[in-house]
Amino acid sequence: MRLSIIIKVTGGILRVFGLMFLWPMAVVAYYEEWTDLGGFALAGVLAASIGQAMWLAGREREPDLRRIEALAVVAGTWLVVALLGSVPYLWVGLAPVDAVFESMSGFTTTGATIFTDFSLFGRGLLFWRSLTQWLGGMGVITLFVAILPRLAMGVGRIFFAEAPGPTDEKLTPHIRQTAVVLWRLYAGLTLAEFLALWVAGMPVYDSLCHAMTTLAAGGFSPHALSIAGYDNAAVEWIICVFMFVAGVNFALQYRALLGRPGVLVRDEEFRAYTGIVLVAALLVTGFLWHAGGELTVAFRHGLFQTLSILTTTGYASVDFQLWSDQTRIILLGLMFIGGCAGSAAGGPKVIRHVLIGRYTLTELRRTLHPRGVLPVKIGGKVVPDGVMRTVLVFFLFYVLMFALCVMAVVLLGTDLITGISATMATLGNVGPGLGQVGPMANYGHLHPLSKLVLTGAMWIGRLEILTVLALLRPEVWRSAHWRTPARG
């Protein structure tokens, strides 16, 4: 592992990242909330100068990334980006732990918040909060791969290391072109939602923020009561549609949009995803209806909350903390599924569940036919053993991480429901949990150490765990050196 290259590539990304702070500054200027301007300016200058310094420090002329170096770049970039992103929060007076929590929650598209009183914060800051999710939704690195013409050789490695779920689809022969295509699609969908929400009667500013956080499957809302605060059925239906879209593999959507809608039906993950949405939504609707609600309203909230939790968006159209245990356990279960690989959604991903299911059935079949050749197949194609193994290991670590975080959070003094759901909601990048971190509550009252643990959970959850864990191997650091020794 060559540190100079990691520094160089990370720096290259950071200095461009600094430009992102211009957007909230424009919003600040528009609404003339000049007190917040300093935070963004400071953060922008910091990012650009640190990035430039790192770029210069890593003096490799033609950086080519090896696999482990790409992992380090991804993990490092996300961490530094989240830290720099917390500067505006610090500026308005948040405690450092809270600021980092909020920033990480933004970039990882979690949507868990420590904000209690939204009226304390200006529109610029709330816009920044939504923008962080939008940037994180398609992937910070995907964005910079798209923007920067020649970041490094082997940039494909970081591209895929960041991509959510086991996917390695290249839509075009060039990785950069793929990144551009994905970002265009993402931006186009965001624009479509923005216009739809605006037409449906939401204010322009709110429409923009919600469009960004829906497509990112993030869930931050500039409204303290989330979507429930608008009390507008049309808005909820529109958001339902775009949450569903945000949970679908963007590469698949791109191919479907190219005029081959059949690929959607043939895709096993998409079918499973749609099935889960329908079954869960109908179950929730049934329970709500049974508890004495009007059927159409029950269905609207049932579908909305199912999509919001499954796609790990985390909006609330209603305070589902007040729902029955039957419905809440369904929502908790959905947190453990997540959206499709290659989408903006978090969680363990539908495809991994499908794979684990297939694998289990195959192993059962193997006991009946000990000498059978029984491969696991998806869409008629054999899943290589190596992929299957990483999926299994991913689940093991996911469960292990989950258990460790729950232990930590509960030991630090929360109740069990809160601890379990808060961990699930942060590790899966969902956002709101149940109990004291329910949709109308927030994470602000947790122990500072708990907040740190959960911040880590968000980071690890977004980068899909193994990426980060691989970096903890001692041999990675033993072999770390500043620069490649000159070859004789």
Partner 1 sequence: MQIIIIGGGEIGYALAKTLASDHELCVLDTEPGVADRFGLLDVELLTGSGTSSSLLERARVSTCDLLIGCTGLDEVNIVACSIGSQLGCRRTICFVSKEDFVHTPEGRESLNEHFGIDQVVWPEAQLADAIERIIMAPGSVDAGVFVGGEIRLLEFRLGSDSPLVGRPISALDLPYGVVIVAVHHGETTSIPHGRTVLDPGDKVVLMGTRKGMKALQGQLAPDAAKRRLRRVTIIGGGDVGLRLAQHLDSEPGIQLCVVEHDHARGEMLAATLGNALILEGDGTDLSLLESEEIGRSDVLVSVIDNDERNLLACLIGRQLGVGSVITRVSTPANLRLFERVGIDVALSARGAAVASVLHQIDGGRSSLLAVLEEGQAKVIELTVPTGFPATALRNLGVPNGAIIGSIVRGGQVIVPRGEDRIEPGDHLLVCATGSSAEEIRELFTTGQ
Q: Which residues bind partner 1 (CB under 8 A)?
A: 369-375, 377, 380-382
What is the chain's alpha carbon radius of gyration, rounded to the nearest angstrom? 22
Least distance to partner 1 from the beta carbon of 263, Å?
19
Least distance to partner 1 from the beta carbon of 368, Å?
9
Least distance to partner 1 from the beta carbon of 375, Å?
5
- Whole-angstrom distance, CA of residue 214 vs CA of residue 210: 6
What is the 3-state secondary structure of 33-96? CHHHHHHHHHHHHHHHHHHHHHHHHCCCCCCECCHHHHHHHHHHHHHHHHHHHCHHHHHCCCCH
Q: Is 476 left (phi over 0), alpha (psi -120 to 50) or beta?
A: alpha
Least distance to partner 1 from the beta carbon of 260, Å?
22
Least distance to partner 1 from the beta carbon of 385, Å?
10
Residue with tokens 């079918």: 271
Least distance to partner 1 from the beta carbon of 155, Å?
32
Both tokens of residue 440?
């109308």
Least distance to partner 1 from the beta carbon of 349, Å?
24
Least distance to partner 1 from the beta carbon of 160, Å?
24
- Interacting residues of 71 by C-beta distance below 8 A, sequence separation 6+: 161, 467, 470, 471
**φ, ψ for residue 378, nearest 5 deg:** -130, 125
- Interacting residues of 301 by C-beta distance below 8 A, sequence separation 6+: 284, 288, 293, 317, 318, 320
DSSP string covering 219-276 = ---SSTTGGGGG--HHHHHHHHHHHHHHTS-HHHHHHHHTT-THHHHH-HHHHHHHHH
Which residue's CB is nearer to partner 1, number 372 or number 448? 372
Which residue's CB is nearer to partner 1, number 369 or number 478? 369
Which residue's CB is nearer to partner 1, number 266 or number 483? 266
Residue with tokens 């950086």: 63
Least distance to partner 1 from the beta carbon of 354, Å?
16
Look at residues 339, 334, 367 and name the one whose alpha carbon lies nearest to residue 351: 339
286-289 long-range Cβ contacts below 8 angstroms, 24+ apart: 287/323, 287/324, 287/326, 287/327, 287/330, 288/323, 288/327
Which residue's CB is nearer to partner 1, number 380 or number 474? 380
Least distance to partner 1 from the beta carbon of 377, Å?
8
Which residue's CB is nearer to partner 1, number 201 or number 375? 375
Which residue's CB is nearer to partner 1, number 377 or number 481? 377
Least distance to partner 1 from the beta carbon of 272, Å?
18
C-alpha count within 13 angstroms, C-beta hemisphere, residue 243: 30
- Interacting residues of 406 by C-beta distance below 8 A, sequence separation 6+: 419, 420, 423
Which residue's CB is nearer to partner 1, number 52 or number 362? 362
CB count within 10 Å of CB 280 equals 23
Which residue's CB is nearer to partner 1, number 290 or number 377? 377
Which residue's CB is nearer to partner 1, number 192 or number 374? 374
Residue with tokens 């960004």: 212
Which residue's CB is nearer to partner 1, number 384 or number 448? 384
Which residue's CB is nearer to partner 1, number 162 or number 267? 267
CA 311, 317, 322, 325 dihedral sign is negative
- Whole-angstrom distance, CA of residue 261 vs CA of residue 245: 14
